A and B are shown apart, each in its own frame.
Chain A
């Protein structure tokens, strides 16, 4: 199999951008990624991309130029960006193209998502009676987890405080105001035990990456970051997932456990080698649980890890150094690629004010979403 590397990254700032369409943001991110790679759009041989709610990604070629390239539109919930990345990675690994573009973008209205039960195989009653909310699921998952593994509300607040602190030093982040743990804990309780500032919000933004293999990778203008693996999995019988009117008593690991294990195995790199990670933090509990589900620590170890500062920018294993979903919001199609964008910046040593100190060689990304899908990637210098 051929080595695949990320040779260019581009981002349109996350947040709220009235009057700017999702496709406009995608084109901005794509042009920035091309410029960063020193590659012209006409040289791109394959592209994949998607959004959840802002249109077909391949319509962005009308803006970038109609070059006739094969373009695959991807729509796969929260794993949209990672699925586009996996598709491009597979095409390059199979040597069907030498240079590819991946793009993800989205533009959601304010407020919590309001998915309709009928789209998820459920009766209308499930939504009518007030159970069709992702926030409830995350609250109930961490509630159970806290009682089983001794995680405290203070640790939930520390995760959010870290996110906003990191976001404050990220010019592309949406929420750039640091918040104290006390402010986070005393903000409005939305879904016990999670308060307002422990949740991310749907938002807007776009990210693009240029990937290359072979000679194009060796000729890259900047030192590439290798994309060692991408793996994604859906839920098995017994895992506790969102939008479930019932769950089995016999339990199975979450799709993140299997996706992470597969990504590490394909990469030939273990979780102990990871120097920096970007994890799905839809709310602060998710980051805590995903740390262990990804294999980056044992269940229950998070309390000490987070309280001791190990996941801070200067810690042993910095997590969500760009502020994660909490500070960037969640434009679904762009979110997974934002994680890769940040890992590339950090491994290049170009993250400026929020650069994690010391040599950082291996990065890891993980996204999770409804109805039980997870995608993980391993990157390295």
Chain B
């Protein structure tokens, strides 16, 4: 799924840069701490000198779960427990940067294990508007669970 034909669920989370999808974080100019989403001050050293940073596209799965019951709406976009389909959620460690929480494209516990290689992608965001997308991570092709 390309960002060209889709609308991001929120501004400032991800962009297309050099033809590639990238998450948009921030990096502290003073101590180097990386956050996602970007923020205007550093949670590590309290500096207000921070810059945008495009985050790595690939990382490893640090932990995960399967959301197997329909979240309450609000805040979840969809209020239809009957039609709910379980989905995966995890933290992906981007080497040397930060661990990012994200939806996973896989919702089968047998296909997930900590340490497996993951790659950034887009998925349709929950809700009624079919062209709205959010970021997610998928197992890198050929990666056995």
Contact = CB atoms under 8 A, between A and B. Distances in A.
Contacts of A2: none
Interface residues of B, number: 43
A359 interface: no
Interface in A113-163: 114-117, 123-133, 136, 139-141, 143-144, 147
Contacts of A125: 9-10, 13, 125, 134
Nearest to A245: B101
Contacts of B68: 188-192
Nearest to B39: A121
A64 interface: no
A132 B25 contact: no
A115 B73 CA distance: 10
Nearest to B77: A128
Given A112-B72, A128-B126, A143 B93 contact: no
Contacts of B71: 112, 114, 127, 130, 132-133
Given A140-B91, A245-B37, A128 B125 contact: yes
A240 B84 CA distance: 28
Interface in B91-145: 91, 93, 96-101, 103, 109, 114, 125-127, 134
Given A140-B89, A143-B114, A144-B114, A128 B9 contact: yes
Contacts of A69: none
Interface residues of A, number: 39
Interface in A230-273: 237-238, 244-249
Which of A130, A140, A190 has the largest number of chain B CB atoms within 10 A? A130
Contact of B103 (A123, A131, A192, A246): A131
Given A244-B101, A249-B93, A114 B75 contact: yes
B89 to A, nearest CB: 5
A245 B97 contact: no
Contacts of A123: 10, 37
A358 interface: no
A124 B33 CA distance: 24
Contacts of A143: 63-65, 114
A65 interface: no
Contact of B43 (A127, A131, A136, A237): A237
A371 B63 CA distance: 19
Contacts of A139: 65
Contacts of A115: 75
- Name the residue in A123, A192, A237 with the highest tally of chain B Cβ atoms < 10 Å from its Cβ: A192
Interface string B1-20: 00000000110010000000
Contacts of B63: 140-141, 143-144, 147
Nearest to B72: A114
Interface in A267-295: none
A192 B76 contact: no
Contacts of B10: 123-125
A70 interface: no
A19 interface: no
B103 A129 contact: yes
B48 interface: no
B66 interface: yes
Given A190-B69, A237-B43, A248 B125 contact: no
Contacts of B44: 237-238, 248
Given A112-B72, A123-B37, A128-B75, 16 more contacts: A125-B125, A128-B127, A129-B9, A129-B125, A139-B65, A140-B63, A141-B63, A191-B65, A192-B66, A237-B43, A245-B36, A246-B34, A248-B33, A248-B34, A248-B98, A249-B98
